[in-house]
C-alpha cells in the first residue's frame, strides 16, 4: 500500500530521514541531580566537540529537584561522533536517559 499522509501509513521501503552533517544537534541528558552531574556531562560531550558555548546549554530541574535535565546543542560532524558521545554519556553513573 502506498503512503497516505492522512492515515500515517508509509511504504516499507521508506527509511527514516538521514541527518545531513554538519548540523546543530540537541542532546538531552537526564540524571540524578548530584553535584558532579552537570560537570561530568559537559566534560564528556566536550571531549568530542571542543568547548561548548554556555548559551547552548539548558538546565531544567525536576519538580522536586531530584533530577536534572541538561540539553546541549552541539555542532555535530557525523554519526560516529554522536555514537561516541552517547556511549560516553551512558557510562556516567548518575545518567538515567540520553536522548
CATH number of the domain that residue 31 is part of:
3.30.70.260
* Domain count along the chain: 1
pLDDT band at 93 (very low <50, low <70, confident <90, very high): very high
Per the domain annotation, does 15 fall within a domain?
no
Q: How does pLDDT run across 20-74, given as a tens digit for each residue?
A: 999 999 999 999 999 999 999 999 999 999 999 999 999 999 999 999 999 999 9
Per the domain annotation, does 64 fall within a domain?
yes
Beta-strand (E) ranges in 1-99? 23-32, 57-61, 67-76, 95-98
Distance CA 44, CA 92 (A): 9
pLDDT average, residue stretch 72-98: 97
pLDDT band at 13 (very low <50, low <70, confident <90, very high): low
Per the domain annotation, does 10 fall within a domain?
no
Per the domain annotation, does 12 fall within a domain?
no
Per the domain annotation, does 4 fall within a domain?
no
pLDDT band at 1 (very low <50, low <70, confident <90, very high): very low
Per the domain annotation, does 68 fall within a domain?
yes
Q: Which stretch of 7-21, 43-57, 75-89 has the lowest confidence by average pLDDT?
A: 7-21
pLDDT average, residue stretch 75-96: 97
Per the domain annotation, does 5 fall within a domain?
no
Residue 57, domain extent: 23-98
Per the domain annotation, does 90 fall within a domain?
yes
76: which strand partners?
Answer: 23
Amino acid at each position: 500500500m502506498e503512503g497516505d499522509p492522512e492515515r500515517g501509513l508509509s511504504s516499507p521501503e521508506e527509511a527514516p530521514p538521514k541527518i545531513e552533517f554538519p548540523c546543530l544537534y540537541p542532546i538531552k541528558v537526564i540524571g540524578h541531580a548530584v553535584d558532579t552531574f552537570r560537570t561530568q556531562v559537559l566534560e564528556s560531550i566536550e571531549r568530542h566537540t571542543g568547548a561548548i558555548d554556555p548559551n547552548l546549554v539548558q538546565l531544567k530541574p525536576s519538580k522536586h529537584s531530584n533530577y536534572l535535565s541538561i540539553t546541549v546543542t552541539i555542532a555535530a560532524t557525523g554519526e560516529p561522533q554522536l555514537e561516541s558521545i552517547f556511549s560516553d554519556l551512558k557510562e556516567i553513573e548518575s545518567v538515567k536517559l540520553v536522548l
